[in-house]
Structure 1
């Protein structure tokens, strides 16, 4: 049995560069659950915390780290041991109240994410939406569905095609346009995923005429990669092509390429109410390994 830390149980501490290996070791206890935080920590390890776009808190304040929380565009708590959950989330909530709300969401394993929100709800502005049940799925083998041979990596010269599809997906999923206020940061995110070979598309011609529009029929991205896990985000099929099984064959193509080229485990999380998407991913060969929750502001 691990002895408790003797000091600092009530508080979290701000971590620095020297603490990043220990923080990643905490995440490695459950890489699928922690991939969002671990992805930022790996960037911080390579290029510095400034380049990663946030800061990281560790708990307890004294002694070996047992939990971490990434604070950037998303607030992502990681508490591998359920026995630590209450004290660690108490400490992260105090740190978040001191900082004030800077993140657009709280996301992570459901117990940690919802626990953090319950402690912050009386102190922060109201949430726009709470998605309390999001099955976390993973696959570490070949897909059960034949991959779509037309799904491939996006090319840098296709940004003008890919960006509108990403905006449409985001707006449909989250409820507002990510480029309503200019969208420079969102465009840069899409561009960087393409350049990092983490963006997938299937292109279509809208009709057979000489001036037919080329558009994205299917798309997905590897939104977070760390600790041998590639998390798929932004899966989207153009409405005119839905009902044809493209989400299944497209995801099979993403899984096959990502496992061959990026990470041995491919994961994603899906809204619990989206039973059609959940059935599609299970047919591809994903299995549920946990539950996420997301609080949107």
Structure 2
């Protein structure tokens, strides 16, 4: 068990303050809190706006050790600390290790994710990969780069071709095959859902995907772009810049801020996003787990 979290009482004594699971009665307050940091909280805000805080459907839990404005952490396929001091992070870590781990990563603002991981590493470590500095980028106006007119939303009948490219991207980016474990059924459902909702974009040439990306999370204020990939033999030709500009333009045109985060060492991608007009507003960190 991790060292418990304690809080001072008026009498000078200390008491344990655990993290608790929030419920739908807390939803309005939570959404107001997330709205104060709409880009960094996009992944969670989008989920809560769609599913609320009812965990019976298996969409994850939201934790706090007090008011949501002071401490907040999402627990699901990812463990995402959203706000809180060190005592709050300790409470989140304490709760997380009480049950078998379901998260495949710890991700969020660097100043929250890395301290939380330090508290979890004895029980959950070692990490498969630590990406300690990932610039979080945002664009709130039309892109500076010219969008690619051949990049469009993928159609449901193009699922198989798009899925092939998505799997290649996932293996290259994450280092594991998304088909492992269940034969790819879960990942296929995810990609199919993105295509059916109009959030998967691609450029096809001779029936093959040469560029792809998705708006992985879409909240009321932010669209987070993910999975940017260019077929290896077409790299260095500007397809990534122009294709991402197309998607960013669509997000901005919808009245939202376009966002993404990128590894700090990926200088090629960072230059491309800079040409589009993306600017860094924060730094994320991601801990990939086995």
TM-score after normalising by structure 2:
0.91
Q: How does 1:1-297 map to 2 (within 5 A)?
A: 10-45=17-52, 48-51=54-57, 53-60=59-66, 63=67, 65-79=69-83, 84-181=84-181, 182-205=183-206, 214-261=207-254, 263-297=255-289
CA contact (8 A) 1:137 1:288 kept: yes
Which stretches of structure 1, 4 residues or longer, exceed 6 Å deviation after superposition? 4-9
CA–CA distance in structure 1, aligned partners of residues 276 and 9 of structure 2: 44
Q: CA contact under 8 A between 2:33 and 2:68: conserved in structure 1? A: no
8 Å CA contact 2:213–2:225 kept in 1: the answer is yes
- Provide the aligned length of Structure 1 versus Structure 2: 278
Q: Secondary structure at the match of 2:80?
A: strand
The TM-score normalised by the length of structure 1 is: 0.89
Query: Any gaps of 5 or more consecutive residues in structure 1?
Result: 206-213
Deviation of residue 5 (structure 1)? 10
Change in 2 beyond 3 A, CA 1:20/1:99: farther
Instruction: Report how far residue 293 of structure 1 moved.
Output: 0.3
Aligned-partner Cα distance in 2 for 1:70–1:176: 24
Distance 1:201 1:11, change over 3 A: same
Matches of 1:258 and 1:53 in 2, distance apart?
A: 25
SS in 2 for 1:57: strand
Tell me the SS of whatever aligns to 2:85: helix
Moved more, 173-182 or 184-193: 173-182
Is residue 43–residue 51 contact of structure 1 (8 Å, CA) maintained in 2?
Answer: no
- The answer as to whether partners of 2:108 and 2:286 remain within 8 angstroms in 1 is yes
CA drift of 1:67 comes to 2.2
Matches of 1:71 and 1:276 in 2, distance apart?
33
CA distance in 1 between counterparts of 2:237 and 2:268 reads 13
Q: 1:5 to 1:183 in 2, by over 3 A?
A: farther
